[in-house]
Chain A
């Protein structure tokens, strides 16, 4: 009946169905499975189910993204500028001047569409959101402080052989020396051979 003896157990055959459907089995293994399926109705029914699942999954639609999502992203991005603008101390920056010039041009050409779109004001974060963000910013700085403290201890203890401190390029090593607060005036000697 079969070209090969059906030496495959149902348990093993069920493990091979999805690779078989995908054509990922070696020829000999696929042949063994086919032999088993010819003589085992239950496993053959499982193969039908496996094939149907793949067919149905592949028939599921690509769901369309509503176009207003991209618009929302633009508005959200615009929020960044509306917060930034008061922080400019000395007159408008170049993009701002270009924008102003473009605005004048737009008015001259009757740029009504720009005006309509500009009415969409970005949402201002609530006080609670700002408070939460403040807590997060403090957390970040505190974490930096903690790491700096730990690093500075290691800088002072660099005589201990197991600890390796590599001072960076001269241009920035001074800065971190200050940032570490208690770091020594002289940078610790580099030990390249232990660093990697």
Chain B
């Protein structure tokens, strides 16, 4: 009986999960339509299940594992700006800023420096940070948007992030695979 019930429970629980709303801190980057996706230099799309696997596999780095284990999604788009007119991207950044602010995101830091702009937005729910979005734009170099959603401890992310060096990524975006 127990053997029969267990898959049932998992099936129905899976169905329940399908009906769950997306994480409140998630920003659908497709909806923002910031950069032409065929020209991105880096694209990362990681969601809940894979993040738990990453956390489990990173036992040798407890800080990293703890951060990733608490996240529900990581999405990154990096767009190279070499040879691209800054004016063509700037309105899109402005649009993204409007999009975020109209949906309850609060700007935390806004830096403008010699053409470079960086925005750090956070989303709170019940007094906890549930989303972090960074928009950064440096003419002649690159523009990027990073969104992480889930249980976020900015202090921990800041500490760990500053220890890490930017690894070289394959210039191929992640995407879901068809199950066999």
Check: A45 CB closer than 8 A to any chain B CB: no
Q: Which A133-188 residues have a C-beta within 8 angstroms of B?
A: 133-151, 154-155, 162-169, 171-173, 175-176, 178-181
Q: Is the CB of A175 within 8 A of B154?
A: yes
Task: Using A103-B5, A163-B113, A179-B154 as known contacts, say yes or no to A117 and B180 having CB atoms under 8 A apart.
Answer: no
Check B10–A130 contact: CB distance below 8 A.
Answer: no
Say yes or no: A135 contacts B169, CB within 8 Å: yes
Q: Answer yes or no: A195 CB below 8 A from chain B CBs.
A: yes
Cα(A140)–Cα(B5), bound, Å:
40
B50 touches A163 (CB 8 A): no
Known contacts A115-B8, A175-B122, A178-B154; A137/B68 CB under 8 A: yes
Given A95-B17, A99-B16, do A136 and B46 touch, yes or no (CB 8 Å)? yes
* CB neighbours of A35 from chain B (8 A): none
Q: Does A41 contact B (CB under 8 A)?
A: no
B89 within 8 A of A: no
**Closest CB in chain B relative to A196 CB, distance in Å:** 10
Alpha-carbon distance A85/B10, docked complex (angstroms): 9
Whether A137 lies near B46 (C-beta < 8 A) is yes
Answer whether A154 and B46 are a contact pair too, CB < 8 Å, given A118-B7, A135-B169.
Answer: no
Contacts of B40 in A (CB 8 A): none
Binary per-residue interface labels of chain B (73-84) against chain A in the complex, 1 for a CB within 8 Å, 0 otherwise: 010101000000
In contact, B49 and A79 (Cβ under 8 angstroms): yes
Chain B binding site: helix, strand, loop or mixed by DSSP?
mixed
- Give the interface SS of chain A, mostly helix, strand, loop or mixed: helix
Min CB distance A178 to B, Å, is 4
Interface stretch of the complex, out of A5-13, A25-33, A68-76? A68-76
What's the nearest-Cβ distance from chain A to residue B88, in Å?
A: 20
Cα distance A83–B7 when bound, in Å?
A: 15
A143 — nearest CB in chain B belongs to which residue? B146
Q: Quick check: B159 and A154 within 8 Å, CB to CB?
A: no
- Assess the B158–A138 pair: CB atoms within 8 A: no
Q: State A150–B117 Cα separation when bound (angstroms).
A: 11
Contact A76 B166 (CB under 8 A): no
| Interchain nearest-CB distance for B124 vs A (Å) | 6
Verify if B58 is at the interface (C-beta below 8 Å from A): yes
Q: Does A19 contact B (CB under 8 A)?
A: no
A164, A176, A181, most chain B CB atoms within 10 A: A176
11 pairs across A/B with beta carbons < 8 Å?
Answer: A78-B18, A100-B13, A130-B57, A134-B57, A137-B51, A144-B157, A145-B157, A167-B108, A171-B127, A175-B122, A178-B158
Please give the residue numbers on chain B whose beta carbons come within 8 Å of chain A beta carbons, in ascending order.
4-5, 7-18, 20, 42, 44, 46-54, 57-58, 64, 67-69, 74, 76, 78, 106-114, 118, 120, 122, 124, 127, 129, 132, 134, 136, 144, 146, 148, 154-155, 157-167, 169-170, 174, 176-180
Additional A-B contact list (7), CB under 8 Å, known A79-B49, A137-B74: A96-B16, A98-B16, A135-B169, A137-B54, A145-B161, A146-B161, A179-B155
